[in-house]
Structures are given as C-alpha cells and as structure tokens.
C-alpha cells in the first residue's frame, strides 16, 4: 500500500539523490529556494506599491511608462517559458539536440528581454528618472533591477547548461538538471507576470 | 522506510518520470497565456470601468497559476513541492499585506 503510494510520487528521477521521502533532494531544495524568493520579491513589490505615488521631483509613473514596448517584452519572456518547457520535455526524451536548441532559444529570448529592460532604463534616465530622483524611482529600479539580475543569472545558467550538455559534463540525471534550471526560469517569468500587472498596467 | 524501499521507489518513479503534457499541449497553453496577456494589455486602450482592477488581478492570478501548475509541473508533481512553494508564497502575501496595512495602504486606495 505504502510502496504503491510512493510509486506514484513523481518527484524523483533516476540518478538523483533521493531523500527519506523518496523525493529528489535537489528538486526539494529548488522548491524551497523558490518559496523563499517569494519573500524577497514580495518585499520589493510591496515597497514599490507603497512608494509609487511618492514623487517629489522627476516624472510620474503614468507619464513615463511605455506600455506597448513593455507588453512586447512581457510577451517575449512569456514565450521563453514555452521554449524552456519544450527543452525540459526534450531532455526527458533524451533528445540532446533539441534540448540544446530550445535552451539556446530560451537564453536568446531572455537576452532580448534584458536588452529591452536596459533600453527602458536608459530612456527613463534620459527623461529625468534617476535612482535617487524620488522614492518612486528608487523602488522601481530596485524591483525591476533585481528581476533583471535574476533573468541574467538564468541566461548564464542556460548557456552553461548548453555547454556542459554538448561536452557530456552534466553529472547525474541530465533531465533533472534541465528541469531544475527550468523551474528557476519559470519563476522569473511568474514574477514578471505580477510586476507587469501591478507596476505597469495598474496606474498609481 | 528502508534504504531498499527508497531505492525501489526511486526506480519505480523513474518509469513514470515523463509526467506532464505533450509538446502540443504546452503550445496550446502558451497560446492561452498569450491571449490572456493580450486582454491585459487591452485594458490600457479600452475603458473597462469598474471591472478594470478586478479583470487585471484575476488575469494575473490565472496566468500565475497556469505557469506554476503546467509549465513548472506542480499539478503533476508530488504535493510536498506544492506545499513548499505555496507556503513561501502565502507567507509572503500575509507578511506584506500586514506591512502595507501598517502604512494604511489599503485605506488610501479606498
């Protein structure tokens, strides 16, 4: 009975370090990390919500945001989640060629998103919104900057994964390693889903 | 639970590890997410009146849950992973709602 129940758990794969629960320690660690990341971004988002109307000098949020441009960026990041899940799917089929292809496309889409963010920051700075211009500017750059750093770290992990996969240097279960990096990537996507709505679409 | 049982469970799990959806189903979900994003963006151009805020918040939650459930496989994975993630998420929501309430954020919105 108990063994039958365990057999239906989908949390561990061959070669992974299983815990006493029969689940992968790596995967459990990643989910705990993502749970803790909710607290980090929760703090940044709530600080922004509190300060977005506090503009002593410089431009107001509603005057500076370029919604059509940010919508395209959001769409690109959303589609990178699709390519990431296709990479995981390919890795589970042990299809190395397509795994590398989808991982590379995901990294390129992520790089496009970060490029768009750099362009946006530059445009905002030229319009008079610096990091210390107002509480709105400080909280906005802190929130979106932290997210951008997370995306950049994700791109580095994806490219490292492609390199390691090509040289067959991924230790343990390859599909699980791709899945773990996929979890991190999807997490930065869901954080952006919240930021896009609360920061950009809902006016202050 | 003995080590042998754990190993047995891991081996059996290996046989069912290809959980989740097919590639076509992932593409369909991505198209749905794209359509939801289009509706979100349309609120910038079209006046939704009193439905503006609820529409955006509901769409945000639907997109969030869809990505977590299907792309992150939480719907098909062991429940412990769901508990770990949603515990962090709910703790964050509770802590920061309390934080914002301290600064009378919700009163100002009303």
Of B80, B69, B86, nearest to A25 (Cα)? B80
The partner residue sitting opposite B44, judged by closest CB among A23, A36, A201, is: A201
Domain range summary for chain A, segments of one domain joined by +: 25-201
Cβ pair B8:A3 closer than 8 A: yes
Q: Tell me what ipTM this predicted complex has.
A: 0.88
Tens digits of residue pLDDT in B42-97: 999 999 999 999 999 999 999 999 999 999 999 999 999 999 999 999 999 999 99
Neighbouring C-alpha atoms within 13 Å toward the C-beta of A93:
16
Q: How many CB atoms lie within 10 A of CB A200?
A: 20
Tens digits of residue pLDDT in B5-48: 444 444 444 444 456 799 999 999 999 999 999 999 999 999 99
Name residue, tokens 């905002």: A124
Contacts A10 to B, Cβ<8 Å: 13, 16-17, 19, 73, 76-78
User: What pLDDT score was predicted for residue B16?
Assistant: 41
Residues 6+ apart with CB under 8 A from B35: none
Alpha carbon A167 to its chain's center: 26
3-state SS assignment for residue B59: helix
Q: Percentages helix, strand, coil for chain A, rounded to the nearest 5?
A: 75, 0, 25
- Chain B 48-67, residues with CB within 8 Å of chain A CB atoms: 53, 56-57, 59-60, 63-64, 67
Neighbouring C-alpha atoms within 13 Å toward the C-beta of A119:
10
3-state SS assignment for residue A24: strand
3-state SS assignment for residue A130: coil
Cβ pair B23:A89 closer than 8 A: yes
pTM: 0.87
Annotation: CATH topology of A25-201: 1.20.120
Q: What is the dihedral of CA B80, B84, B86, B87, to 10 degrees?
A: 120
Cβ pair A20:B1 closer than 8 A: yes
Residues 6+ apart with CB under 8 A from B83: none
Report which of residues B19 and A127 the model is more confident about: A127
Domain range summary for chain B, segments of one domain joined by +: 21-77, 78-110
Q: What are phi and psi of A108, to 5 degrees?
A: -65, -40
Q: Give chain A's length.
A: 204
Closest CA–CA distance from residue A37 to any residue of chain B (Å): 8
Question: Does residue A101 sit at the B interface (CB-CB below 8 Å)?
Answer: no
Interatomic CA distance for residues A145 and A25, integer angstroms: 31
Residue of A nearest to B43 (CA): A201
């Amino acid at each position: 009975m108990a063994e039958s129940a365990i057999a239906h758990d989908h949390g561990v794969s061959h070669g992974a370090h299983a815990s006493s629960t029969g689940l992968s320690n790596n995967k459990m660690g990643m989910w705990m990390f993502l749970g803790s990341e909710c607290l980090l971004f929760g703090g940044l988002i709530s600080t922004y919500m509190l300060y977005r109307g506090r503009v002593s000098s410089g431009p107001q949020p509603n005057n500076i945001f370029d919604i059509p441009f940010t919508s395209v960026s959001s769409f690109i990041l959303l589609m990178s989640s699709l390519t990431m899940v296709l990479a995981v799917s390919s890795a589970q089929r042990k299809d190395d060629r397509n795994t590398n292809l989808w991982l590379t496309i995901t990294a390129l889409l992520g790089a496009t998103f970060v490029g768009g963010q750099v362009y946006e920051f530059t445009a905002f700075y030229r319009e008079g919104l610096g990091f210390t211009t107002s509480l709105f500017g400080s909280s906005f750059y802190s929130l979106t900057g932290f997210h951008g750093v997370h995306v950049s770290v994700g791109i580095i992990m994806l490219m490292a994964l492609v390199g390691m996969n090509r040289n067959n240097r991924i230790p343990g279960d390859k599909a699980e390693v791709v899945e773990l990096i996929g979890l991190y990537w999807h997490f930065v996507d869901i954080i952006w889903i919240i930021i896009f709505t609360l920061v950009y679409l809902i006016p202050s | 639970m003995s080590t042998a049982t754990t190993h047995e469970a891991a081996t059996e799990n290996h046989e069912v590890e290809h959980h989740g959806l097919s590639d076509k189903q992932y593409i369909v979900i991505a198209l749905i997410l794209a359509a939801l994003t289009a509706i979100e963006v349309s609120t910038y151009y079209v006046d939704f009146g009193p439905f503006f805020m609820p529409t955006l918040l509901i769409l945000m939650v639907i997109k969030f849950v869809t990505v977590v459930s299907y792309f992150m496989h939480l719907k098909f994975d062991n429940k412990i992973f769901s508990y770990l993630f949603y515990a962090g998420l709910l703790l964050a929501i509770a802590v920061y709602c309390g934080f914002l309430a301290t600064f009378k954020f919700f009163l100002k919105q009303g």
